[in-house]
Amino acid sequence: MRATPGRVLKGVATAPPDKSVSHRALILGALARGETLIDNLLESEDVLATARAVQALGAGVERLGSGRWRVTGQGRLTQPDGPLDLGNSGTGARLLMGAVAGFSIEATFAGDESLSRRPMGRVADPLRAMGARIEGERLPLTLRGGDLKAISHLNAAASAQVKSALLLAGLNAGGVTEVIEPRPSRDHTERMLRAFGASTEVRDAADGRTVRLTGGQSLSGTAVSVPGDPSSAAFPLAAALITPGSEVTLRGVMLNPLRTGLFQTWAEMGADLTISDRREAGGEEIGDITARASRLKGVDVPAHRAASMIDEYPILAVTAAFAAGRTVMASIGELRVKESDRIAAMARALAACGVAVEEGPDQLAVTGGPVRGGAAIESHGDHRIAMSLLVLGLAARQPVTVDRAGMIATSFPGFTGLMRGLGADIAAA
Ligand SMILES: O=C(O)C1=C[C@@H](OP(=O)(O)O)[C@@H](O)[C@H](O)C1
Ligand SMILES: C=C(OP(=O)(O)O)C(=O)O
């Protein structure tokens, strides 16, 4: 795809449904007894892979209409006939490993080239400590579950995928499963467990958060309405901030405080952002966010904020390229084990576009100024790198092309259409 500068972005669009909440709605629906009706499910490649996997694990899965799905659970998962292919999705693979571990069944987990490189020991090791038998450290791996005992686990990397996998396994473990988080990670699993009739105990203290779940609880199917994804909304909002004369509103964006670190950081950079019509949807606060072209300044992003904006660093780095001064993003080592090594991918891409960037082992620093663009960027098959660099191309001096842009469909299949609707010039290269 190629992004060409020169157009002003104007208009109102609806944020696409949240990916994290969509995966969880399908998985909890499969674990529950009875019907779960999902409204506004994200129909992206990652989420569709999870839908196929829960169907292979015995749940009834039907698409009733656009974004409207029915999952009929049996209150347990059953032996799949073949390998579960989670495609590009770390969330799907890791949460389902936890869910499957609770049952006396065997499943092989597989994924694409990127997912097969990502570390699975962070989930496999604690699941082994609970009693699951797991062969392999990366996908493809085979897991045999059942007869679990609860453990207490320190979630040092603030990974919501690890926490969620252990809580889902803990539903069918003897005793109380405990996850200790020095820095809280997104809490969609805890919130949704409550909606499905299971309770978790959440305790906050000065040294972090502890989440406890007592084994043996059963889930009942329910209705889930998926709020808009702040991680996806970030791309059109960023484009408006850096493109002179622009003003864009994204409707229905989830405002869960464990997801909004980017908006706080942009506010500190001087971004003209307003949030209106705060309301509730699907157990989450949502609102409409308006971004207007802004004179941004560089900031130091505090390390403790990383978990609340972990997928947003690539697009933050793009906005930092247009800001006056230096932006330092510290303690972001987790970015090296996402769909690509996002620190290295962004450092290379920004440098190719004429941006001053310094890469450290677990940090990235960007010094803003006029952005040349005019480069052909390798996305490394990473949807967030592809979208970030296309947004950069809209406000650079020269167009930017991005390879393997088809991967954008893993999280945001409507990206190009939504951006064009706001006036952006993004087209096949
Ligand atoms: O739980 C989730 O839905 C997610 C958690 C994060 O990963 P980690 O748990 O690896 O931090 C995030 O990067 C991912 O896109 C979605
Ligand atoms: C890291 C991401 O997703 P996942 O871990 O589910 O592949 C992402 O969407 O940026």
- The three state secondary structure string of the chain is CEEECCCCCEEEEECCECHHHHHHHHHHHHHCEEEEEEECCCCCHHHHHHHHHHHHCCCEEEEEECCEEEEEEECCCCCCCCCEECCCCHHHHHHHHHHHHCCCCEEEEECCHHHHHCCCHHHHHHHHHHCCEEECCCCCEEEECCCEECCEEECCCCCHHHHHHHHHHHCCEECEEEEEECCCCCCHHHHHHHHCCCCEEEEEECCEEEEEEECCCCCECCEEECCECHHHHHHHHHHHHHCCCCEEEEEEEECCCCCCHHHHHHHHCCCEEEEEEEEEECCEEEEEEEEECCCCECCEECHHHHHHHHHHHHHHHHHHHCCECEEEECCCHHHHHCCCCHHHHHHHHHHHCCCEEEEECCEEEEECCCCCECCEECCCCCHHHHHHHHHHHHHCCECEEECCHHHHHHCCCCHHHHHHHCCCEEECC
| 12 and 59 fall within a common domain | no
| 375 and 319 fall within a common domain | yes
- What are 68's two structure tokens? 């409207």
pLDDT given for residue 376 in this prediction: 98
ipTM of this predicted structure: 0.99
Domain that holds residue 44: 19-214+221-225
pLDDT given for residue 348 in this prediction: 98
Residues 371, 388: Cα–Cα separation, whole Å:
14
Q: Which residues are annotated as a binding site?
A: 19-20, 24, 90, 118, 159, 161, 311, 338, 342, 384
The catalytically annotated residue of 85, 311, 341, 382 is 311
pLDDT given for residue 283 in this prediction: 86
Looking at ligand 1, which atom is closest to the CA of residue 161?
Answer: 9
| 70 and 168 fall within a common domain | yes
| 390 and 273 fall within a common domain | yes
Task: Please measure the distance between the N-terminal and C-terminal CA atoms of the chain and give it in whole angstroms.
Answer: 5
pLDDT given for residue 27 in this prediction: 99
Residue having the nearest C-alpha atom to atom 10 of ligand 2: 311
Q: Which residues are annotated as a binding site for phosphoenolpyruvate?
A: 19, 90, 118, 161, 342, 384
pTM of the full predicted structure? 0.98
The Cα-based distances of 110 to 49, 97, 137, 139, 236 in angstroms read 11, 11, 12, 5, 33
| 129 and 250 fall within a common domain | no
Looking at ligand 2, which atom is closest to the CA of residue 410?
Answer: 9
Which of 159, 332, 387 gets mutated to test ligand 1 (max ligand atoms within 8 A of its CB)? Answer: 159
Q: Which of 178, 199, 225 is the last residue before a domain boundary? A: 225
| 169 and 292 fall within a common domain | no
- Note down pLDDT in tens along the chain; length 429 residues: 999 999 999 999 999 999 999 999 999 999 999 999 999 999 999 999 999 999 999 999 999 999 999 999 999 999 999 999 999 999 999 999 999 999 999 999 999 999 999 999 999 999 999 999 999 999 999 999 999 999 999 999 999 999 999 999 999 999 999 999 999 999 999 999 999 999 999 999 998 999 999 999 999 999 999 999 999 999 999 999 999 999 999 999 999 999 999 999 999 999 999 999 999 988 899 999 999 999 999 999 999 999 999 999 999 999 999 999 999 999 999 999 999 999 999 999 999 999 999 999 999 999 999 999 999 999 999 999 999 999 999 999 999 999 999 999 999 999 999 999 999 999 999
pLDDT given for residue 282 in this prediction: 80
| 234 and 375 fall within a common domain | yes
Inter-residue contact 229 to 43 (CB < 8 Å): no
> The CATH number of the domain where 10 resides is what?
3.65.10.10
Residues 395, 320: Cα–Cα separation, whole Å:
13
Rounded to 5 degrees, φ, ψ at 415 are -55, -55
* Calculated CA dihedral for residues 178, 226, 405, 313, nearest 10 degrees: -50
Closest-CA residue to 4 (of 243, 195, 206): 243
The Cα-based distances of 100 to 125, 199, 292 in angstroms read 15, 20, 46
Q: Which of 169, 198, 225 is the last residue before a domain boundary? A: 225
Q: Please work out whether the CB of residue 340 comes within 6 Å of at least one atom of ligand 2.
A: no
| 292 and 320 fall within a common domain | yes
Which of 19, 27, 45, 91 gets mutated to test ligand 2 (max ligand atoms within 8 A of its CB)? Answer: 91
| 164 and 83 fall within a common domain | yes
Examine the residue annotation and report whether 311 is marked as an active-site residue of this protein. Answer: yes
- Number of domain units in the chain: 2
Q: Please work out whether the CB of residue 186 comes within 6 Å of at least one atom of ligand 2.
A: no
Counting ligands in written order, the one closest to the CA of 91 is 2
| 251 and 391 fall within a common domain | yes
pLDDT given for residue 344 in this prediction: 98
Contacts of 80 (CB under 8 A, 6+ apart): 53, 56, 57, 58, 105, 107
Residue having the nearest C-alpha atom to atom 8 of ligand 2: 311
Looking at ligand 2, which atom is closest to the CA of residue 46?
Answer: 6
| 24 and 148 fall within a common domain | yes
Q: Please work out whether the CB of residue 229 comes within 6 Å of at least one atom of ligand 2.
A: no
pLDDT given for residue 281 in this prediction: 86
Q: Which of 205, 225, 245 is the last residue before a domain boundary? A: 225
| 184 and 236 fall within a common domain | no
